[in-house]
Structure 1
Amino acid sequence: MLDWNTAIDAYAKQLEYVDRKSKNTIQAYLRDLKAYATNFSNRDIALDQVRSEQINTYLQLLNDEYANASVLRAKTSIINFHRFLKQYYQLKDNPASHIQKIRKLHRYPKTIDQSQIDNLLQQENLKHERFHLAMIDVLYSCGLRVSELVELTLSQVYLDQAYLRVLGKGNKERMVPMASITVDNVKRYLEMDRYVWLKTKSNRVFIKPNGKAITRQYVYTMLKKRSQLLGLDLEISPHKLRHSFATSLLNGGADLRVVQELLGHADISTTQIYTHIEKKRMQEAYQKFHPMNDKKGE
């Protein structure tokens, strides 16, 4: 009888050492699989007793409760997990090979208006102002994922040449230019804050006042607090800043392939969704403001 925890631990090693998945991807897969395991073990169903129909029922439960993207990721985690088990333990059957399809729903990324970003980046006499401004500026002006910001090291920052060497998903490297104001903001933080806060040897660019490296949660909380302190009626997240980076470039006439490279997208179809955002906005603007839109056909 296969033990759930032992099997998941073995798969975690496969993800890390063989598949070379990023830390965040591994964490996401393991969260999915632990929830999956809990559902079955609570009903005394052993791992080698799981059937396709039971997986379908589980996915349907997820589909009723969670966002489409989360369910699709959980399905992928489960399929890959059972594929690994069949090969690793030389099992006869793979119950996940015949599970139902889940329709992928396309949700347009949410962005932030330029005027709101300008307000967010406006210099104020707030606590740790240089530190926070530098992080927000890099997120928006360079389009980094929050994990890329958190893990950014000093050896990846080239202030004199005004670019970042970013390690993205799957350890894929890309070069991202920095605006002169972004260079200035980062330089001020490094010289006036990081130097003072550094207590132990660390190569991370962004560290907290206590000398420890920032976390993803720290960045989310900082953005929320800053928005509140500035009196902005704005739900903000690192990913919204990344989305805004992409739409700003496309609005300015940037080539889609260039935006793909700057974002670190493996597939251009992922980048193309930003063009749909602008088409949708143009459509809404036409419907709202064009006088002919109110006239009905004879």
Structure 2
Amino acid sequence: MSMQAFTSYLKLEKNYSDHTVKAYGRDLDAFTGFCRENYDETNIDAAGYPMIRNWIVSLSNEGVSNRSINRKISSLQAYYKFLLKIGEITASPLAKHRALKTEKKVEVPFSESEMELILTEIPFEEGFEGERDKLIVELLYATGMRRAELVNLKVTDINLGNRTLKVLGKRNKERIIPLLDATVDQIKAYLEVRSQLPNCATSLYLFLTKDGLKIYETLVYRTINKYFSLVSPKVKKSPHILRHTFATHLLNRGADLNSVKELLGHSSLASTQVYTHNSIAELKKVHQMAHPRNKK
């Protein structure tokens, strides 16, 4: 019963996406399975920290990374925090837990030349799917939106007259993003082929499959991986790297941090500052090359 209430809490009060709620559920189910197998216990509400610590050791022995373990424990922390909130427990077993150490994750954005190649040189497929895939790349790079935000875009979120786009972000927070001329042109080209799909008139969503159904997040990931594999040797090619690329390129060209924060839909500057790593590296390069005190 507690888990069902927790799921409803995440959906209705926290406004988490279905994807996030399912991830929490998988982590709780995994811990429940561990407790059942090792302690003959299926009610994790009364689990103590030694049980959780043994689960952590078990996961580590299976080769699960510290980063993934920390994410799983975060799901447990959220669950026990919820139980505290509704008075089911009086203390969280994770109250004194400290996260495992992880290596700092450095994500390498695509270069401006790679983006130029994708958007001007690489041939996309003919017809509907090609126009859709090109707009997916264009919008992710031109707006910095998240993959889930792109999937849930509605046709009515586009205002071609004002050249703006309305995005519904985390916690149902709306933001308005200006559109570039090239992006507007690509949207128009896509809408023209979209209008010929079955069910298109009844679908609220901007991005559809060739059968007229709403696209899904895996399709977006595969699209990005497919086309960027043609131009980039980088190991990681994902929608999030495009978001990272958007922020890095803006900062490299002089955009201020607050403006980038608003465009990305971050609630605090701390979240945006992770993208300054590459712009600082670029500034260092310029500084070294240009400063008269530098001995060449």
Superposed pair shares fold, TM > 0.5: yes
Aligned residue in 1 for 2:2? 7
Q: TM-score, normalised by structure 1?
A: 0.85
Match runs of 1:37-56 below 5 Å: 37-43=32-38, 44-46=40-42, 47-56=44-53
- Once superposed, what is the RMSD of the aligned Cα atoms? 2.9
Q: Equivalent residue of 1:42, what SS?
A: helix
Deviations, residues 170-202 of structure 1 (Å, cap 9, x unaligned): 1111111111000100111001x2101142611
What is the rounded CA distance, in whole Å, between the counterparts of 2:145 and 2:286 in structure 1?
30
Q: Which runs of 4+ in 1 moved over 6 A?
A: 284-287
Aligned residue in 1 for 2:208? 207
1:154 paired with 2:150, answer: no
Q: 1:75 offset after TM fit, Å?
A: 2.2
CA contact (8 A) 1:174 1:264 kept: yes
CA contact (8 A) 2:155 2:205 kept: yes
Percentage of pairs with the same residue = 31
Q: Equivalent residue of 2:94, what SS?
A: helix
- Structure 2, unpaired ranges of 5+: 289-293
Q: Equivalent residue of 2:196, what SS?
A: helix
Give, as a single letter, the amino acid of the residue that structure 1 aligns with 2:47: V
* Residues 14/161 of structure 1: CA separation in 2 closer, same or farther (3 Å cut): same
What is the rounded CA distance, in whole Å, between the counterparts of 2:68 and 2:163 in structure 1?
37
What is the rounded CA distance, in whole Å, between the counterparts of 2:85 and 2:171 in structure 1?
23
Aligned residue in 1 for 2:89? 91
Match runs of 1:213-228 below 5 Å: 213-228=214-229
* Residues 257/92 of structure 1: CA separation in 2 closer, same or farther (3 Å cut): closer
CA contact (8 A) 1:259 1:271 kept: yes
Deviates more, 1:9-18 or 1:163-172: 9-18
CA contact (8 A) 1:52 1:96 kept: yes
What is the rounded CA distance, in whole Å, between the counterparts of 2:15 and 2:6 in structure 1?
12
Q: 1:60 offset after TM fit, Å?
A: 4.4
What is the rounded CA distance, in whole Å, between the counterparts of 1:68 and 1:267 in structure 2?
26
* Residues 63/115 of structure 1: CA separation in 2 closer, same or farther (3 Å cut): farther
Match runs of 1:1-298 below 5 Å: 6-43=1-38, 44-46=40-42, 47-62=44-59, 65-88=63-86, 90-103=88-101, 105-122=103-120, 124=123, 126-127=125-126, 128-191=129-192, 193-199=193-199, 201-228=202-229, 230=230, 232-234=232-234, 235-280=236-281
What is the rounded CA distance, in whole Å, between the counterparts of 1:100 and 1:60 in structure 2?
14
CA contact (8 A) 1:130 1:188 kept: yes
Deviates more, 1:165-174 or 1:15-24: 15-24
Q: 1:49 offset after TM fit, Å?
A: 4.4
Q: TM-score, normalised by structure 2?
A: 0.85
How many aligned positions are there?
286
Q: 1:105 offset after TM fit, Å?
A: 4.8
